[in-house]
């Protein structure tokens, strides 16, 4: 018992030291959804993200990577297990803004309380202030989510992973979270995200989202 406790404390200490070296961040979002009929749906989403890092003096500060975006999405449920939609948004950073198109397809399989969903999203972004020839950028985002949801329970926990790439790997996000059912029309999403990238230090992110169906 003592050995297991010492091992757990050592692991916790190592994770704490690692987190002190990595970036820290928060994601917060508000989404309003509307089901037009049994097939068509739309939603509006606002999201704000922050990132801070430790400088050479050991002080945490703004990386200049904070961003927000506003997105409108319109889509259809093509089959009981397949839906497709198209999103358009404007993303703002301290240095520039981007206009993005986000066509998406999502396949979902449900067995009892367990749900597995695979989402494939292509993102085409246009940056007007970028040099000629570099204004368009592209990425494919593959998102796999496994959730557990039972009727009568307020919490619906899930695990997810999302991989970004275009010709080669760019970054990966790992999620652990839960949805909290407030009412029949509203839910809160609480999650921890670990992000690893080939161009930036690892990041630990806490997220909060509010979804409202009208």
Query: What pLDDT, in 10s, does the model give residues 87-97?
Result: 999 999 988 99
d(Cα 106, Cα 40) in Å, to the nearest integer?
Answer: 14
Give the dihedral sign, CA 187/67/142/121.
Answer: positive
pLDDT in tens, 147-197: 999 877 899 999 999 999 999 999 999 999 999 999 999 999 999 999 999
- Residue 23, burial from CB neighbour count under 10 angstroms (0-12, 13-18, 19+): buried
Q: Which domain holds residue 26?
A: 2-213
Contact 145, 160 (CB under 8 A): yes
Contact 204, 26 (CB under 8 A): no
d(Cα 47, Cα 214) in Å, to the nearest integer?
Answer: 19
Domain count, the chain: 1
d(Cα 168, Cα 181) in Å, to the nearest integer?
Answer: 38
Note the pTM of the prediction, 2 decimals.
0.85
3-state secondary structure of 67: strand
pLDDT band at 52 (very low <50, low <70, confident <90, very high): confident
CATH at 8: 2.40.160.40
């Amino acid at each position: 018992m003592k050995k297991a406790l010492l091992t757990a404390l050592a692991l916790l200490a190592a994770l704490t030291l690692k987190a002190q070296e990595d970036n820290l961040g928060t994601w917060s979002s508000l989404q309003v959804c509307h089901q037009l009929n049994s097939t068509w749906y739309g939603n509006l989403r606002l999201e704000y993200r922050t990132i801070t890092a430790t400088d050479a003096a050991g002080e945490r500060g703004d990386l200049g990577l904070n961003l927000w975006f506003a997105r409108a999405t319109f889509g259809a449920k093509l089959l009981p297990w397949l839906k497709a939609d198209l999103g358009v948004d404007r993303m703002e950073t301290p240095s520039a803004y981007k206009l993005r198109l986000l066509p998406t397809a999502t396949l979902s399989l449900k067995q009892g309380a367990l749900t597995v969903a695979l989402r494939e999203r292509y993102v085409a972004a246009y940056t007007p202030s970028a040099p000629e020839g570099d204004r368009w950028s592209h990425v494919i985002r593959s998102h796999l989510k496994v959730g557990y949801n039972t009727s009568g329970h307020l919490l619906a926990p899930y695990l997810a992973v999302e991989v970004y790439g275009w010709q080669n790997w760019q970054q990966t996000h790992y999620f652990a979270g839960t949805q909290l059912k407030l009412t029949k029309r509203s839910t809160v999403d609480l999650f921890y995200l670990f992000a690893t990238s080939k161009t930036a230090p690892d990041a630990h992110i806490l997220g909060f989202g509010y979804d409202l169906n009208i």
